[in-house]
Structure formats: structure tokens, C-alpha cells
Structure 1
Amino acid sequence: MSNADTVIVAIRSGYERLADLVKKFDDETLAGPSAATEWDIAQVLSHLGSGAEIMTNTLQLAVDGQPPAAGDFNQTVWARWDSSSRREQADGFLEWNDKFLAQLESLTEDQRDNLRIEFSWLPAPIDIAHFARMRLNELTYHSWDVRSAADPEATLDAAAVPEMLQTDADLSWVSKPAELNGQTAVLTVTTTDPSKEFTLRLADPVSLEATPAAEPDGTLTLPAESWLRLSAGRLAADRTPKSVELTGPISLDTLRKVFAGY
């Protein structure tokens, strides 16, 4: 399978896992808290559903050779979802994710390889693999936000983790270097499932390098899914596997503050 194919398969796997739960949720569950602290479960589903609607429209415009939607399109979609009932939000999540996945899966091999999609906030159009990975990241983290509310042992979807693990990702928008209080450190990060080794530079800005540092100040060893949750503000002390090991001048609590979540 091409790179786009594997990402689309991972989206399907993660969506079906969450959808199976959502179909069983009663109104009380939908009103309950999620791990996204400012949202109840229905609001997380609303976010994922509105996102699926927007991405369906974005992809269709690209397929049709049309420019991106006008600037107020997203605001209109969000306003409609925000005004919906919790049950409507849950049902809409299922409806629009079904539509979006069917649309993605219907793309031809040529489209998966060569179609490019424009976003006004990106410097250049992106390919389907990149576009699908954006959705995979959002779905995977927010699926965990929903599932972990009832399951303290919940982890990110296994099929998504290899596709999300980018050892040269831009951390500038998800990190708060001020929480280092002037400290700096270079850590070698070693992950399992999959196995990767890369460098985390804790400074201003916080950054990653795809190769391990020659003389690090410490090491961070953990499952790849735990690294992804840490960098997305989802590795609280009570959600941290015992296998996580950190050496050096920076504490795990400090790392949690640097990666406070979004």
C-alpha cells in the first residue's frame, strides 16, 4: 500500500473503534466529562463531526479542481454544530465520519498519489497522505479523550501510532518553553512499538531532531504511544505506564508542563 493507503486504513480502524462505543452511548454518557477538560463527550464528538464535514468539503473541492471554501464556511459549520443537541452531535459524528471515510476510500490510485489540497494557512498544497494524517492525528487524540474517560488504561489506537510518530515534527506550537524556567536540556528519546531514537531539545523553541544527539544530558525511554500522548498533553501521572523512564536534569512533571496539551 502507498503511504496514503496506510493512513486511510488507520483512520478506518480508529473510527470504527470509537463509533462502536458512540452507538451505545446514552444521553447521560454524552453529557459526561471527557479527557479534554473543557468539553463533555458530546462536544468532543461535535468537534470530530464538524471536522469531518469541513474536510469532506475541502477534499471534494480539490477533486473538482475548485479553490478552497470561503473564509466563513468553517465558522458556519461550527456554529450549526455548537447549536445542536448532544444526541444530534453524536449522530452527526457518525454520519459525517462515514461520509468522509467513504470519500477518502473512493479516491483512485492516481488521486492518492497526485491530488493536492490547498489550505489558506499552509504555504503550499499538500498531498493526500499529509491530508489524511492531519485527520488521523485529530481523530486518534480525541478518540482517546472519549475512551479514556471510562478506561484509565486506554491507549492510542495501535494502527495510528506508526503513522503519527514523526521524529522531526514541529513542536513550536504545542510546547511552552517558558515552563522550563530557564533550564535547557538535550534528551535522547527512545521509543518502542515502533522502535525509534531521536533527540528532544528543550530550549526556546523546543524542537526535535530525527537523529540521536552525540552527548545528551539525559534519556527518555517510553512506548511510542506514550510519547505521542506526552507531546499532546495527555500523559498525566495517573495515565503514565510504569515502563516510562527519564534520566537527566528535567523531571517528567516539567515535561508535562512544557507539553500542556491543546
Structure 2
Amino acid sequence: MAGVRLAEFAHHTWDVEVAFDHKAPLLSALTGLLLDQAGTFLNFLGKADALDARPLRIAVHTTAPERTFGLEVGNAITLTDEPDQPDAVLNAPAEWWLRLTTGRHAPAYTPSEVSLASTSLTLDDLRRVFPGF
């Protein structure tokens, strides 16, 4: 329960800060803690059917803190180990990854260091998978 409240606090604080600074990040002191529990609510937060039942395996590389893991979107959305042959590779600050999963990912709030290498997936596709509330 404490983790849920911490996530709410971090994201709602960002909601206020971004109104005054479009480049505001999530609180850096909380990012690592939230990143380690991010997989818990992905099926609740995400819409696996947003990609028209096209299963994908995505390698995710985050910075600040550095983490590497996999994201599978198919019948469900799950975090996995980094796939050997991913359909896409996402590189992003960890705080943006967290904001992506909660629907706080509009292009205006996406840092320039976010990149997605893929021939079949775009950032807009990921935004549809994680539409927010």
C-alpha cells in the first residue's frame, strides 16, 4: 500500500510541476523505488489490445537509474528479462518510462533523449498501450 501511495504522490506532484515547467521530471529521489515496482500494475495501467493483437517484445534501457528489462505486449502486458531478439529497443530516462506507463507521456513532455529503434512500433503506439486514466 505504501508503494501505491508513493507512486500517487510522485505522479501528482509532477502533474502540478509540469504546469509551470514543461521539462519537469518526476522526483529523482523516488524514481528508483518506483521503477523497481513498476511491473506490478502494468496490466491495470496498460491496454494490451491497443496494438491490434500484434504481440511485441521490447527491450527497455533506462537511465537515472540504469536498468535493462523487457516489456512484452500480447494477451497481457508483462515485464520480463531483456529479450534476445526484440521487436524494438526503447532508450529513455527512468522517470519518463514511469510517466509513460501512467499516461503522462504527451510529446510536449517527452525528453529529447527518448528513442525507439523499431521498424514496426512508434512512440505513439506505446502511448496508445498506456493511455492513462
Shared fold per TM-score greater than 0.5 = yes
2:94 aligned residue (218, 221, 224): 224
CA distance in 2, matches of 1:259, 1:203: 14
CA distance in 2, matches of 1:167, 1:141: 14
Equivalent pairs: percent with the same residue? 37
Whichever residue aligns with residue 151 of structure 1, its letter is D
Whichever residue aligns with residue 22 of structure 2, its letter is P
Aligned to 2:3: 133
1:145 aligned residue (5, 8, 15): 15
Greater relative contact order (Cα < 8 A, sep 6+): 2
1:259 aligned residue (117, 130, 133): 130
Q: How does 1:86-105 map to 2 (within 5 A)?
A: none
CA distance in 2, matches of 1:252, 1:167: 23
**Equivalent residues of 1:200, 1:207 under 8 A apart:** yes
- How many pairs align? 131
- Unpaired stretches in structure 1, ≥5 consecutive residues: 1-130
**Equivalent residues of 1:141, 1:156 under 8 A apart:** yes
1:205 aligned residue (65, 69, 76): 76
Q: Deviations over 1:178-218 (max 9, x none)?
A: 21122221010000000000000011211111x21122112
How far does residue 168 in structure 1 lie from its aligned partner after superposition? 6.6
Aligned to 1:233: 103
Whichever residue aligns with residue 238 of structure 1, its letter is A
TM-score, length basis structure 1: 0.48
Aligned to 1:75: none
**What is the CA RMSD across the aligned residues, in angstroms?**
1.3
Higher strand share goes to which structure? Answer: 2
Between Structure 1 and Structure 2, whose CA radius of gyration is higher? 1
Aligned to 1:163: 33
**Equivalent residues of 1:188, 1:199 under 8 A apart:** yes
Higher helix share goes to which structure? Answer: 1
How far does residue 250 in structure 1 lie from its aligned partner after superposition? 1.2
Aligned to 2:48: 177
